[in-house]
Structure 1
Amino acid sequence: MNGPEIHLTLAPELHLFAAPGLRAPRARTVTDGSSSLGHVVESVGVPLTEVGRLLVDGREVDTAHVPAAGESVEVHGVDRPQRVPGAPLRFLLDVHLGTLARRLRLLGVDAAYESEDIGDPALATRSAAERRVLLSRDRGLLRRRELWAGGYVYSDRPEEQLRDVLGRFAPVLAPWTRCTACNGLLHEADKEALGDRIEDGTQRSYDVFAQCGDCDRAYWRGAHHARLEALVTEALAEFGPASAR
């Protein structure tokens, strides 16, 4: 860009997206004099999915504002919890977030997941077609114009990713109601009706079963249940109805 110079202040949580020289308060940057503020913010590396209020010389503006020479621009992060227009709240996760998808499903959150890399255009298009919030650590993907809504996943650790998403979007939690394999809804199942879907030893050891209405996968409280129960209990304690979010 080669035009008016403005002063840009990024919220601390947005610093990771920008070059070091743009992380200081009132960092100087040059615009082309015609691009919108949204374009300017994206040009310094910040996806608009991560941007909340935009203030120019103390007054709030939208992304269409065209910065003029000498203006001071403050870029704030999104408010938490972030309210996404429309209902119900649903997510779409890219190929790198399989563990996060399964944990969200465990908590009853509608979380579609692409287990293969179908490409950025297809992911963004699905987000728009199904009105799903696209979760990704790919900054370029979150800048695609066809995207309906999105959120950057800040950590590469699944437990921190889960807390980040639950704290940011505050989805309604309904544990044990979704299939962790395909995202379908679970229903109670009679073990006799499950037949050869479960082994004889499992039939003798357990009485309570559930089954996915989409992929027919069977569920019971097996060896890993205690670990999953701990994850659910911790999430409900912090992000469930009792937290009055």
Structure 2
Amino acid sequence: MVRPAPALWLFLPPRRRRTQITVPYDGSASLGHVVQSLGIPLTEVGPPSVDGAAAGASRPLHQGAVVGLDPPPRPQPLPHGARFLLDVHLGTLARRLRVLGVDTSYDNDADDPDLVARAGREQRVLLTQDRGLLMRRALWAGAYVRGHGATAQLADVLDRFAPPLRPRTRCAACNGELVDVPKEQVVDLLEPGTRRRYERFARCRSCGRVYWHGAHGRRLDALVADAVRAVGAAGGGP
């Protein structure tokens, strides 16, 4: 008998979206296997329970066992700091996280095996909306991103992990570090209007892209302010 919390119902087919599910048991499957057979990635489950006692995913079960499933507590601590890897469908979310100064790797050409290998190699949490990807045995750490559109997705990531924010310290294009530079060092790269209107600039150490607080600055200021409030409410810090 599996008792999934309502927050996990989105992973279940409609006919199984209820507080208690009877699951056939072959006598040998582990707790983790039973959970994932329902369509729920283990990354989306907090410490499960069997017959009211905490249990690990590798624990064998028995006929008549009662399994309790809840989502991970929020905010969820990040292993090895705030480092993420996003799959190919989350490019806008990647750029927004970088604007907030969150170490975010993204490659729109990476396939599933590449993502799993890179997450382990660089010890990054893989963010995706692909449940099958999260169920890969070799995945080091991952999380399902809830929401449609980058605004809702960003709100979910900030609420779940409350990562430390360092706004405007990373390149939105490549994730490289931004450093302040004198105007004269980048003046030849600027359009005439930008040269006339702005005096303060930053440049990416990795790709050389130049940044300034331009016409889009108010929109980014609002993004940063909302994110700082959200992380503070979730129990994180700037």
TM bracket, shorter-chain basis: over 0.9
Q: Size of the alignment, in residue pairs?
A: 236
Check conservation: 1:135, 1:151, Cα contact below 8 A.
yes
* Change in CA separation of 1:71 and 1:243 when aligned onto 2, cut-off 3 Å: closer
**Structure 1 length-normalised TM:** 0.93
2:170 paired with 1:178: yes
Q: Find the counterpart in structure 1 of residue 37 from structure 2.
A: 43
Alignment of 1:39-78 (within 5 A): 39-78=33-72
- Matching residue within 32, 57, 60 for 2:26: 32
Question: What's the RMSD between the two structures over aligned residues?
Answer: 1.3
**Structure 2 length-normalised TM:** 0.95
Whole-angstrom distance in 2 between the partners of 1:28 and 1:150: 28
Q: Which has the higher contact order (CA 8 A, sep 6+)?
A: 2
Whole-angstrom distance in 2 between the partners of 1:28 and 1:111: 40
SS across alignment from 1:174: coil
Note the C-alpha offset of 1:84. Answer: 2.7
Check conservation: 1:135, 1:153, Cα contact below 8 A.
yes
2:125 paired with 1:133: yes
Whole-angstrom distance in 1 between the partners of 2:143 and 2:171: 23
* Change in CA separation of 1:142 and 1:188 when aligned onto 2, cut-off 3 Å: same
Check conservation: 2:93, 2:153, Cα contact below 8 A.
yes
SS across alignment from 1:146: coil
Whole-angstrom distance in 2 between the partners of 1:126 and 1:69: 39
Q: Find the counterpart in structure 2 of residue 4 from structure 1.
A: none
Note the C-alpha offset of 1:26. Answer: 2.5
Note the C-alpha offset of 1:124. Answer: 0.5
Identity of aligned residues (%): 51
Whole-angstrom distance in 1 between the partners of 2:124 and 2:94: 13
* Change in CA separation of 1:228 and 1:144 when aligned onto 2, cut-off 3 Å: same
- State the one-letter code of the partner of 1:208: R
* Change in CA separation of 1:8 and 1:244 when aligned onto 2, cut-off 3 Å: closer
2:186 paired with 1:194: yes
Alignment of 1:1-245 (within 5 A): 7-85=1-79, 87-116=80-109, 118-240=110-232, 244-245=235-236
SS across alignment from 2:70: strand
Uncovered stretches (5+) of structure 2, i.e. residues with no partner: none
Check conservation: 2:75, 2:235, Cα contact below 8 A.
no
SS across alignment from 1:134: strand
Note the C-alpha offset of 1:29. Answer: 0.6
Higher strand share: 1
